Amino acid sequence: MTGAPAHDETSGPSDHHRVVIVGAGFGGIALAIRLQREGVEDIVILEKEHDLGGTWYVNTYPGCQCDVPSLLYSLECAPNAEWTRTFAPQPEIEEYQRGVADRFDLKRLIRFGTELTGADWDPEGRRWSIDTSGGRMSADVLILAAGFLSEPSLPAIDGLDRFEGTVFHSARWRHDHDLGGERVAVIGTGASAIQFVPAIQPDVSHLTVFQRTPPWVTARPDRAFKEWEHRLLRRSPLAARVMRARIYWSRELLVLMFTRYPRLAKLAAAGARKHLEAQVDDPELRQKLTPDYALGCKRVLLSNEYFPALCQPNTELVTEPIREVLPHAIVTADGVEHPADTIILGTGFEATEPPVARRVRAADGRTMREHWDGSMKSYLGTTVAEFPNLFLIIGPNTGLGHSSMIFMIESQANYVVDALKTMAARNIASVSVRPEAMAGFDEEMQHKLSRTVWSTGCASWYLDASGRNTTLWPDFTWQYRQRTRRFDADRYLLSRAT
Ligand SMILES: Cc1cc2nc3c(=O)[nH]c(=O)nc-3n(C[C@H](O)[C@H](O)[C@H](O)COP(=O)(O)OP(=O)(O)OC[C@H]3O[C@@H](n4cnc5c(N)ncnc54)[C@H](O)[C@@H]3O)c2cc1C
């Protein structure tokens, strides 16, 4: 069977497919490529946006680029010799994704502008009944590649809704709004903010950056690729693999610092302090920018331009907490009013509360969110007890502080593909992870995480409301690759096809 036509006219009771994937970011793209390679042709990808790319389609803020070298932050099955820089800017990553979709003929599988609004496991039919903005459909297997950094986190600040200027989140950049000559307030100093702050600083009349906690910032070893490197990458797949492997293994060494020997973080912190000292002369500003928690506890950021931007005469760093927003200003706890024409929220994403978990329901009628009861749990970050034939891409505890998420996605793709092969070979209609397997995995994650730098007491988006770290993988990524190489059917309740 082939993929369904790419539009809603076909939606209806007969709109049934072997696999429905939600999301056309790197996750959905990687899964579709692997499944097609294994001969699974009946695939539909639901994408609520009007183009593919996910993170890299939505985040178009000035200065947006990856913070893992592009030779590693790309699909193993689609190496790219044309990156212009070692850390590619967002438009290039988006273009790369489009190129991959063309090369593997994926666009015909995608239903753009179609949002999954609900999905119910049908225990009799042993399939997923799916509601979308384009109609009803069903699938034997549901893959949620809906992104863990896709729902903007909006701060609950008193008066924000009454602000009379322009307000937007960095992931919803208002390109129609000219910041030139404006007084701009930026709330947040995370990974996105430190990229767009230096990009907008030269254009605005005044920039006020509101910082709750200073991030650790280290130098970004970004540079343009040389022509001979391009030639080598084009001509020699082996050289490309060696260059990628060099980056991969050098980043794996960081796992030792994050998870085994947190004391190594002190050495790295000394390097980051030097970077700060070299870029910021003003002792008071330097003090405000010096973190008081272990390096790595929150995401380590890379920038050569952020500190210099904060040193410019039109920029002010405010560390006093925000009390409220007035129609034309932000007021801090000390009563000072900071006038603003535009507020940009660099406040990150809802990493521990994926919206899609509110939309999928087990046979008991309860959503995945209700099953999680405030804190995500899974087996291998991929399957959840009571949710048969459902696979999460970048589910709980698969996030990384040091390497490429695409490596994790492609590991999960191996697992899902092997699960489908196992089902076909053994005539199995549904697989559902055993609750004890999930509990064991969750316990293992929490135990390992308790000894890492991420558990040294800072507040970070890695932790959920209950204080559990449900986002990060606490080990080497090659271990994750090993554990997801084969589908371990003995950890699952299997139901045979009749
Ligand atoms: C600014 C930024 C920079 C980043 N930089 C890096 C980096 O340098 N290195 C790294 O490893 N990672 C980075 N990440 C993490 C990045 O999100 C992952 O690397 C990767 O792109 C995730 O791919 P994904 O397909 O899982 O999710 P996404 O790219 O978020 O794609 C999910 C897709 O699902 C769609 N979707 C969601 N819900 C529904 C629904 N109900 N119905 C239909 N469609 C839906 C969304 O529209 C989206 O297109 C970054 C993230 C951000 C936000």
- Determine the Cα–Cα distance for residues 296 and 7; give it in Å rounded to an integer: 45
CA 269 to chain centre: 25
Report, in angstroms and rounded to the nearest whole number, the Rg of the chain calculated over CA atoms: 23
Percent of the chain with pLDDT over 90: 94
Both tokens of residue 271?
A: 């390097």
Both tokens of residue 497?
A: 């096809």
Who wins on pLDDT, 173 or 1?
Answer: 173
**Averaged pLDDT for residues 222-232:** 97
Residue 53 CA to ligand 1 center (angstroms) comes to 8
Per-residue model confidence as pLDDT tens digits over 96-118: 999 999 999 999 999 999 999 99
Atom of ligand 1 nearest to the CA of 52: 49
CA 467 to chain centre: 20
Residue 459 CA to ligand 1 center (angstroms) comes to 23
Residue 150 CA to ligand 1 center (angstroms) comes to 6
Residue 361 CA to ligand 1 center (angstroms) comes to 23
Tell me the C-alpha to C-alpha distance, in Å, between residue 122 and each of 146, 366, 451: 22, 13, 41
- Residue 263: which pLDDT band, with cuts at 50, 70 and 90? confident
Per-residue model confidence as pLDDT tens digits over 180-200: 999 999 999 999 999 999 999
Both tokens of residue 156?
A: 């609950």
The predicted pLDDT at position 14 comes to 79
User: Are 397 and 17 spatial neighbours (Cβ–Cβ below 8 Å)?
Assistant: no
User: Of all protein residues, whose CA lies closest to atom 39 belonging to ligand 1?
Assistant: 146
The predicted pLDDT at position 330 comes to 98
Q: Which of 20, 71, 150 is the best mutation target for the ligand 1 pocket, counting ligand atoms within 8 Å of the beta carbon and taking the most?
A: 150
Task: Give me the long-range contacts of 180-184 (CB less than 8 A, separation at least 24).
Answer: 180/204, 181/205, 182/341, 182/342, 183/208, 183/339, 183/340, 183/341, 183/342, 184/208, 184/340, 184/341, 184/342, 184/343, 184/344
Residue 315: Cβ within 10 Å count: 20
Residue 148 CA to ligand 1 center (angstroms) comes to 6
Residue 24 CA to ligand 1 center (angstroms) comes to 9
**Averaged pLDDT for residues 329-343:** 98
Atom of ligand 1 nearest to the CA of 404: 11
- Determine the Cα–Cα distance for residues 371 and 438; give it in Å rounded to an integer: 13
Residue 228 pLDDT > 70, yes or no? yes
What 3-state DSSP class applies to 437?
A: helix
Residue 3 pLDDT > 50, yes or no? no
- Determine the Cα–Cα distance for residues 444 and 454; give it in Å rounded to an integer: 16
Closest of 140, 152, 136, 143 to residue 192, by C-alpha:
152
Residue 336 CA to ligand 1 center (angstroms) comes to 38
- Residues belonging to the chain: 498
- Determine the Cα–Cα distance for residues 217 and 211; give it in Å rounded to an integer: 14
Q: Which of 405, 410, 461 is the best mutation target for the ligand 1 pocket, counting ligand atoms within 8 Å of the beta carbon and taking the most?
A: 405
- Determine the Cα–Cα distance for residues 35 and 43; give it in Å rounded to an integer: 8
- Determine the Cα–Cα distance for residues 70 and 301; give it in Å rounded to an integer: 16
The predicted pLDDT at position 5 comes to 33
User: Are 478 and 407 spatial neighbours (Cβ–Cβ below 8 Å)?
Assistant: no
The DSSP call for residue 222 is -
339 Ramachandran zone, left/alpha/beta (phi>0; psi -120 to 50): beta
User: Are 329 and 185 spatial neighbours (Cβ–Cβ below 8 Å)?
Assistant: no
**Averaged pLDDT for residues 239-262:** 94
- Determine the Cα–Cα distance for residues 125 and 451; give it in Å rounded to an integer: 45
Residue 262 pLDDT > 90, yes or no? no
The predicted pLDDT at position 306 comes to 98
Residue 1 pLDDT > 50, yes or no? no
The predicted pLDDT at position 39 comes to 95
- Residue 261: which pLDDT band, with cuts at 50, 70 and 90? confident
**Contacting residues for 185 by C-beta, under 8 A, at least 6 apart:** 207, 208, 209, 210, 330, 338, 340, 342, 343, 344
Write a three-state SS string for 236-253.
Answer: CHHHHHHHHHHHHHHHHH
The four Cα atoms 281, 286, 287, 291 give a dihedral, to 10 degrees, of -150
- Determine the Cα–Cα distance for residues 198 and 307; give it in Å rounded to an integer: 8
Average pLDDT of the chain to the nearest whole number = 95
Residue 491 pLDDT > 70, yes or no? yes
The predicted pLDDT at position 439 comes to 98
| DSSP H or E segment with residue 203 | none
Residue 13 pLDDT > 60, yes or no? no
What 3-state DSSP class applies to 162?
A: helix
The four Cα atoms 43, 487, 384, 450 give a dihedral, to 10 degrees, of -130
Per-residue model confidence as pLDDT tens digits over 269-318: 999 999 999 999 999 999 999 999 999 999 999 999 999 999 999 999 99
Per-residue model confidence as pLDDT tens digits over 450-489: 999 999 999 999 999 999 999 999 999 999 999 999 999 9
This prediction has a pTM of 0.95
Would strands 315-318 and 206-210 be described as parallel, antiparallel, or unpaired?
Answer: parallel
Least confident of 10-24, 207-221, 401-415: 10-24
DSSP strands (E only) in 178-234? 183-187, 206-210, 217-218
Query: What residues flank ligand 1, with Cβ below 6 Å?
Result: 22-28, 46-49, 54-55, 59, 64, 66-68, 73, 115-116, 145-147, 149-150, 192, 356, 393-394, 404-405
